């Protein structure tokens, strides 16, 4: 392959990585603001999060268009093929994270109409953990650090454990005081959405492993035993 073609292809991959970093920053900001809106009962911020989801959707569509064009014109091989394919998959993970952040923001608007529950602080703790996972995996993608991606992959069960804890506490609230059922149910969906965001961060970690090694992780993903009777956010995201 001619040197100028190799250089041009490398520049296009770098441009894709830059666009993914921008998209990742948008998704990360949406999650942080959605959690803040829940904890601090901030409807104006929640509305902004809901509105920003379209920007993430547009970014995914544009990145998909560029990847398809890259496949058609460059026909990448080996490591370049993996990087191009993974960019497309990662953009999809980030788009779904944006959807989940939007869902959290929507539920925060409903929660604002109810009396506040102290357990909302559990959402704050879960949110911090998930945001750390998301930040670390985006950093790992930017630097190609497989060890950092593996750390995110290994900590997926921490998010599951926090969700299980919130599920049990919210169930106790609902059993002890039926008046809290509506608010607690919305908090339960919010917690499930955060747990799903953690799953998407772990998916990105697996894609980074694939980019670097050409293989998927050679063992099952570590998962805490998740409460099976909780809500499933797939119904909200269309997954």
The two tokens of residue 175 are 């059993």
* Cβ burial 110-121 (10 Å sphere, 16+ → b, else e): ebeeeeebebbe
Q: In the predicted model, what is the mean pLDDT of residues 4-33?
A: 85
Distance CA 58, CA 114 (A): 34
Asked if 210 and 216 count as a contact pair (C-beta separation under 8 A), the reply is yes
Give the model's pLDDT for residue 2: 45
Question: Contact at 8 Å (CB) between 129 and 48?
Answer: no
Q: Could you tell me the pTM of the whole model?
A: 0.88
User: What angle, 0 to 180 degrees and rounded to 10, lies between the N-to-C axes of helices 78-111 and 120-143?
Assistant: 160
**Is 37 within 8 Å of 49 (Cβ atoms)?**
yes
The fraction of the chain above a pLDDT of 70, given in percent, is: 87
What are the structural domain ranges in the chain?
3-237
Q: Residue 204 burial (CB < 10 Å; 0-12/13-18/19+)? A: buried
The pLDDT score that the predictor gives to residue 3 is: 46
Res 5 pLDDT > 50: no
Residue 1 reports pLDDT greater than 60: no
**Residue 185: both structure tokens together:** 């149910």
Q: Top-level CATH class of 3-237?
A: mainly alpha
218 token code pair: 């050679």
What pLDDT digit, counting tens, does each position of 29-88 carry? 999 999 999 999 999 999 999 999 999 999 999 999 999 888 887 777 778 888 889 999
Report yes or no: 166 and 126 within 8 Å, Cβ to Cβ.
yes
Instruction: Please tell me the least confidently modeled range out of 136-150, 194-208, 209-223.
Output: 209-223
**Cα 30 from Cα 105, distance rounded (Å):** 9
Q: Which of 114, 67, 118, 107 is nearest to 88 (CA)?
A: 67
CA 150 from chain centre, in angstroms, equals 16
Separation CA 137–CA 211 (nearest Å): 13
Average pLDDT over residues 111-116: 86
């Amino acid at each position: 392959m001619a040197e100028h073609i190799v250089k041009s292809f490398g520049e296009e991959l770098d441009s894709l990585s830059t666009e993914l970093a921008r998209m990742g920053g948008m998704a990360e900001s949406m999650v942080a603001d959605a959690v803040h809106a829940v904890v601090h009962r901030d409807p104006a911020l929640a509305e902004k999060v809901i509105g920003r989801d379209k920007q993430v959707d547009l970014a995914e569509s544009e990145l998909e268009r560029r990847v398809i064009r890259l496949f058609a014109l460059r026909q990448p091989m080996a490591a370049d093929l993996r990087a191009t394919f993974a960019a497309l998959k990662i953009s999809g993970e980030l788009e779904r994270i944006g959807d989940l952040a939007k869902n959290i923001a929507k539920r925060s608007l409903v929660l604002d109409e109810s009396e506040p529950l102290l357990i909302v602080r559990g959402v704050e703790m879960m949110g911090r953990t998930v945001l750390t996972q998301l930040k670390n995996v985006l950093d790992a993608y930017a630097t190609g650090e497989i060890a950092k991606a593996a750390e995110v992959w290994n900590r997926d069960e921490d998010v599951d454990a926090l969700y299980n804890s919130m599920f049990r506490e919210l169930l106790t609230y609902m059993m002890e005081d039926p008046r809290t059922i509506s608010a607690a149910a919305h908090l339960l969906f919010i917690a499930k959405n955060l747990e799903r965001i953690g799953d998407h961060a772990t998916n990105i970690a697996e894609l980074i492993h694939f980019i670097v090694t050409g293989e998927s992780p050679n063992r099952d993903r570590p998962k805490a035993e998740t409460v099976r009777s909780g809500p499933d956010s797939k119904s909200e995201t269309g997954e």
